[in-house]
Amino acid sequence: MKNLRRLLALVAVGGVFAWGYDNYSGYVRMAYQRRAYPPIRETSPLAEDLNRAIKAREDREYMTEFRRVNAKLLEAQRNGHNVTELKAKMPNAARLGRQRKFKWGFAILNSIDVRIPRFKSGVVRAADGGDSYLGEETR
């Protein structure tokens, strides 16, 4: 009977260890990783310069796209198209650019760009039997 109690106690302690390992081993590993490999907290001057350069490039790209879409709107207005609804969306795109929300700003600029009326080309005649690009005659 004494051995049975010891065996049951050993199984219970083993079960508690298995449950604890299953539930808390991630915390032990994370604590070890934080201790062994601490995060780098200081930013170097090179990283600041790189960050400034990236932000300046993003600003330039956004302003280039904004000016391109604005020029297309003005051209469409000069050609007599009604673009007042599209021009009303441009302040929103400018505001998003100032707030550095370029993803949403590009979405608005692209939606404006695809709705700008284009110059309509002349009529292209349909090809007949003698217009084969291979130079073959069709019958």
End-to-end CA distance of the chain: 105
CA distance 107 to 99: 15
Q: In 3D, which of 122, 123, 121, 115 has the Cα closest to residue 81?
A: 115
Per-residue pLDDT of the chain (139 residues; tens, 9 = 90+): 788 888 888 889 988 888 888 888 788 788 888 888 877 766 677 778 888 999 999 999 999 999 999 999 999 999 888 999 999 999 999 999 999 999 999 999 999 999 998 876 666 666 666 655 555 555 5
Q: What pLDDT does 31 receive?
A: 84
Burial degree of 45 (CB within 10 A; 0-12, 13-18, 19+): exposed
CA distance 70 to 86: 10
Q: What pLDDT does 33 receive?
A: 86
**Could you say which DSSP state residue 38 is in?**
P
DSSP calls for 89-130:
THHHHHHHHHTT-HHHHHHHHHHHHHHSPPPPP---PPP-TT
